[in-house]
Every structure is written in structure tokens, then in C-alpha cells.
Amino acid sequence: MKKALPLFFILSFLLHKQASAQFETVKDSVVQLYGIVMTADSLVGIPAVSVSIRGTNRGTITNNQGVFSIVALKGDVVEFTHVSFKPKTVTIPRNIEGNQYNIVQLMVEDTFYLPATIIRPKPSAEQFARDFASTKVPDDDIEIARRNNDAAKRRILMENTPMDGGGAVAMQFRNIANKATYRGQMPPMNIFNPAAWSEFIKAWKRGDFKNKSQ
């Protein structure tokens, strides 16, 4: 028990010395950063500039005269941001003497060009009713399905949709059957058929012969 006491005191002394050395190191790296932020063209203090330490949650803002003060560490990167000026960054040197560092930061004004906004007077009830009635509402799924099921639309789709294998084989068999039926004689012509003329006139009125690419 007597041998353990000196060992305990020795360990306590060493830990105290190590903690003191670490404290002195941290104390030496702490810097009180203060200064003023001004416009680059007229050297006027800029209020409400955000001053923050990159990578941390520490920050402050400048007062009405553009003056600020913040605690930082040597080697920290300090960011200056404002909605009307271009952002700036300053790195605190690691080899500065003492625990105070002051700067005069100049910022350049940043111009944003916003799109023009046209303010018009409130429309009358008649104008609102007219514009509301003439506003084109996009088709919903039901209206699109109704237009796709229209007879004329189906006819156009059928004309432009290529046949599958079964349809091609059936068409080929019909052509062979027609040739075999009228072999050795002239096939009938529908130019004098009233029903064919009626279908032709209906198709013409529907616009089936218009150029689809227009």
C-alpha cells in the first residue's frame, strides 16, 4: 500500500503536466479576430454581413458600422457573406504572434438582374368571366381516352399502323383468291358502283385524303 501511493502521485503529476501542456497549446492557438467590413469602391461600413468559421457552427454579424468580433483558431478559414455582395474568405495565419488579429475586409457589390414584373390592374367581373371561359384547360385522361376511341381517330390509327404477321398472311391470301377468281377476265370496277361513290364522298368530307404530315 505504501509503494502504491508514490506511484499514484507520480501518475497524477504526469497527467497534470500533460493537461497543462495541452491547455497551453490550445490557449496559444485561440485568436480574437476583429475588424471592419467595408465596400471596395467607397470604403463605407457594411452592416449585417455574416461572418462565420468554415466547418463550424460559430459565427456573428457586423454591426451598423460594419465592425465585428469573433473567437477563432489559428489556421481557420473565415467566410464573409452578404446578399448584395460577392462572398469573401480569409485564412487566419498560423504563425501570428499573440492572440489577437485584426483585418479590414473589402467586399465588391454583386448585381442581380431579375426578370421584369408587369403589374396590371384588377380585371372587372366581365373581363374575368370572359378570360375564364376562353382559357383552354388541358385534357385529362378521360378526355384523351375519349378522343382515342373516336371512329375517325381509330381509322387514322389503323391506316398508319403496320399489320402484324397474321394480317399480312390474310391479305396475301385475299389477293391470291381475287386473282384466282377473276383469272382470264377483267375484274369488276367500282367506278360505276353508287355505294363506292357514297363511301368516297364521305371519306373526302372527313378529310381522309389530306396529307397526314401537314
pLDDT of residue 25: 47
The string of pLDDT tens digits covering residues 156-209 is 777 777 777 777 788 888 888 877 777 777 766 666 667 677 777 777 777 776
Q: What is the pTM of this model?
A: 0.45
Domain-by-domain residue ranges, the chain? 25-107, 141-206
pLDDT of residue 20: 47
Q: Which CATH number applies to 25-107? A: 2.60.40.1120
CA 213/CA 7 separation, integer angstroms: 99
CA 91/CA 78 separation, integer angstroms: 6
pLDDT of residue 64: 93
Closest C-alpha to 80, from 100, 55, 106, 98: 106
pLDDT of residue 78: 96
User: What are the mean pLDDT values of the chain's consecutive 10-residue runs (214 residues total)?
Assistant: 51 50 56 93 93 92 94 93 93 89 92 80 81 82 82 76 77 81 72 71 75 53
pLDDT of residue 86: 93
pLDDT of residue 18: 52
